[in-house]
Amino acid sequence: MGRIYLDHASVTPVDPRVLEFAERYLKNDFGNPSSLHSLGLGAKRFIEDARGKIAKLINAEKETCIIFTSGATESNNLAIKGTALRNVAKGKEVAASAIEHMSVLNPMKELQKNGFKLNIIPVDSTGIVDLEKLGGVLTKNTTVTSIMYANNEIGTIEPIKEISEMVHEKGLYLHVDAIAAAGRIPIDVQNDGIDLLTISSNDMYGPQGAGALYIKPGVRLQSILPGGGQERGLRSGTENLFAIAGMGEAARIAKDEMEQENTRLEKIKDKLIDEILKIEESYLTGHPTQRLPHHASFRFSRIEGESILLNMNMRYSIQVSTGSACSSKTLEPSHVLLAIGLKHEEAHGSMVLTLGRSNKAEEVPIIVKAVKETVQKLRKLSPL
Min CB(143)–ligand PMP separation in Å:
21
CB of 366 to ligand PMP, least distance (A): 26
179 binds ligand PMP, rule: CB under 6 A: yes
Complex with ligand PMP: residue 181 or 364, whichever CB lies closer: 181
CA-to-CA distance for 205 and 110, rounded, in angstroms?
31
Residues 289-308 that bind ligand PMP (CB under 6 A): none
- Whole-angstrom distance, CA of residue 136 vs CA of residue 184: 32
Does position 182 interact with ligand PMP (CB under 6 A)? The reply is no
Of residues 31 and 206, the one with the C-beta less far from ligand PMP: 206
Catalytic entry in 326, 343, 360, 361: 326
The distance of Cα 39 from the centroid of its chain, to the nearest Å, equals: 34
CA dihedral 17, 18, 24, 27 (to 10 degrees): -110
65 is catalytic: no
Considering only residues 218-277, where is the footprint of ligand PMP by CB under 6 A? Answer: none
For β-strands 295-300 and 211-215, DSSP reports them as unpaired
How far is Cα 61 from Cα 134, in angstroms, rounded to an integer?
28
> Whose Cβ is closer to ligand PMP: residue 72's or residue 197's?
72
- Select 175 or 269, whichever has its Cβ closest to ligand PMP: 175
Q: Tell me how many residues contact ligand PMP (CB under 6 A).
A: 14
Under rule CB under 6 A, residue 200 binds ligand PMP: yes
DSSP run (H or E) holding 199: strand 196-200
Q: Which residues in 309-328 contact ligand PMP (CB under 6 A)?
A: 326
Considering only residues 325 to 354 of the shown chain, the ones binding ligand PMP according to CB under 6 A are: 326
Q: Is 231 exposed, middle or buried (0-12, 13-18, 19+ CB in 10 A)?
A: buried
Nearer to ligand PMP, 29 or 239 (CB): 239
Q: Which of 7, 15, 203, 346 touches ligand PMP (CB under 6 A)?
A: 203
Considering only residues 80-109, where is the footprint of ligand PMP by CB under 6 A?
101, 103
71 near ligand PMP (CB under 6 A) = yes
54 near ligand PMP (CB under 6 A): no
Rounded CA separation 374/18 (Å): 36
| Residue partners of 101: CB distance under 8 A and separation at least 6 | 72, 76, 148, 152, 177, 179, 324, 326
In whole angstroms, what is the distance from residue 141 CA to residue 351 CA? 40
Integer Cα distance of 126 and 26 in angstroms: 45
Among the listed residues 55, 176, 180, 210, the single contact to ligand PMP using CB under 6 A: 180
Alpha carbon distance 209, 240 (integer Å): 7
- Residues serving a catalytic function are 326
Site residues (CB under 6 A) for ligand PMP?
71-73, 101, 103, 148, 152, 177, 179-180, 200, 202-203, 326
